[in-house]
Structure 1
Amino acid sequence: MKKEKAYNEQVNEAREADPAAADAPHGAPAGDTMAEEAADASDTMADEALSVEEAVATAVAEWRDKFVRLQAEFDNYRKRTLREKMELVETGGRDVLLAMLPVRDDVERALDAMAKSDDIEALREGVRLIAQKFTEALRQRGVVEIEVKDRPFDAEEAEAVARFAAGEERRGRVIDVVQTGYRLGDKVLRYAKVVVGE
């Protein structure tokens, strides 16, 4: 404690005599040499701080550029996808309508033939061919009939509109189809309306 007090007094006296020498460490040169070393160290630290700032600014600029490009790419992707979806909906409907037009033409020809002909069998055959052509056009687009008659009733494919006493062997089975059901791929497009035995 006494040694510390004595040392502090010596430092204070030295400061009063020569402030530059008092701040210098023991054995270190005082005066101009010390100032030069401090200036050099200050310049080195300033250069290092400046290079770190430049590196950070460069990295920030690169990441900002990447972010802006990525955002623009995503926006373009979103717009392109939306446009493709709209075209798909329009084109999908167009394809189905184009497939139905020949059937419509056949119906017109059948109506003209009915007005001019009395041959019932020929007219029946013509209507049967038109129905067959229409069914084939639907099948080519993935639309198929749901076969439910004489099968156990399945609420995933059909809607029961009536119940009919049909005996024990036909209980829970489809007795009659009031309206045909259709499936598009794996999904039900329209449920069949059926009469179920009880």
Structure 2
Amino acid sequence: MPAGRDRDPARGRAETPEGEAPAAADQGTEENPARAIERLDRELAAKSAEAQQHYDRLLRERAELENFKKRVQRERSEAVQFAAEQLIRDLLPLIDNLERAIEHAESGGNGQPLVEGVRLVWKSALDVLERHGVSRVEATGRDFDPSVHEAIVQVPDADREPNQVVQQFQPGYVLHQRLLRPAKVSVSVRPNVEKGGDDD
């Protein structure tokens, strides 16, 4: 026989170290590239959605914080602006009494020095109120405004349009656009208009 035929065919094989699988077996466990890309896309989309949720929550919390700051600032400003409201309410009867004293002294025909003195006090008190943001509600001759006027009597008057202020019995006062008390007035009505609910 030829010498080459004596060789064992198994000897020509490359021996594989014990415990290791052939390289072809490893290739079977690798992830398909297309599937890997698809999986990464899903993970990226999930992370993007999560990041967007965090960002939206951050924006909402920031907006709520800004609204809270504005509300606190507004309440603080109103507290300072209207801090003297009760004091001013208590001063209003003093103004009323001074006005009555002036009217009484003037109707008597004497006591002019007293009238002038009381008038100065009255004017000074009004100046103090004005410096604190208080203004008078003048009503006589104007259209009746229920937001600042209180009608206590109706006066038939053919020479006036209905709902005009005929006389002001007590002035109203406003503090920084807030009504402290309305002006008490009489209001014109047509002579043929009957008032309901006044006669019992």
What TM-score comes out, normalization by structure 2 length?
Answer: 0.52
User: What's 1:169 paired with?
Assistant: 159
44, 68, 85: which one aligns with 1:55: 44
Aligned-residue offset at 1:133: 2.8
Any runs of at least 4 consecutive aligned residues in structure 1 with deviations exceeding 6 A, and if so which? none
Distance 1:60 1:174 in 2: 67
Aligned-residue offset at 1:52: 0.2
User: What's 1:72 paired with?
Assistant: 61
Contact 1:96 1:141 in 2 (8 A): no
Contact 1:174 1:196 in 2 (8 A): yes
Equivalent residue runs for 1:48-127 within 5 Å? 48-94=37-83, 124-127=115-118
SS at match of 1:148: coil
Equivalences, count: 146
Distance 2:80 2:73 in 1: 10
Aligned-residue offset at 1:185: 6.2
Change (3 A) 1:170 1:58: closer
SS at match of 2:124: helix
Point out the structure with the larger helix share.
Answer: 1
147, 150, 168: which one aligns with 2:141: 150
Structure 1 vs Structure 2: percent identity of aligned residues?
A: 22
Equivalent residue runs for 1:123-138 within 5 Å? 124-138=115-129
Structure with larger RCO (C-alpha < 8 A, sep 6+): 2
Contact 1:182 1:190 in 2 (8 A): yes
Distance 1:171 1:71 in 2: 56
C-alpha distance after superposition, 1:31-58 (max 9, x if no partner): xx9xx7x987x51122212220232133
Aligned-residue offset at 1:87: 1.0
Which stretches in structure 1 are left out of the alignment for 5+ residues?
1-32, 108-119
C-alpha distance after superposition, 1:39-91 (max 9, x if no partner): 87x51122212220232133123212212321321232233223223312321
Which stretches in structure 2 are left out of the alignment for 5+ residues?
1-23, 96-110, 192-200
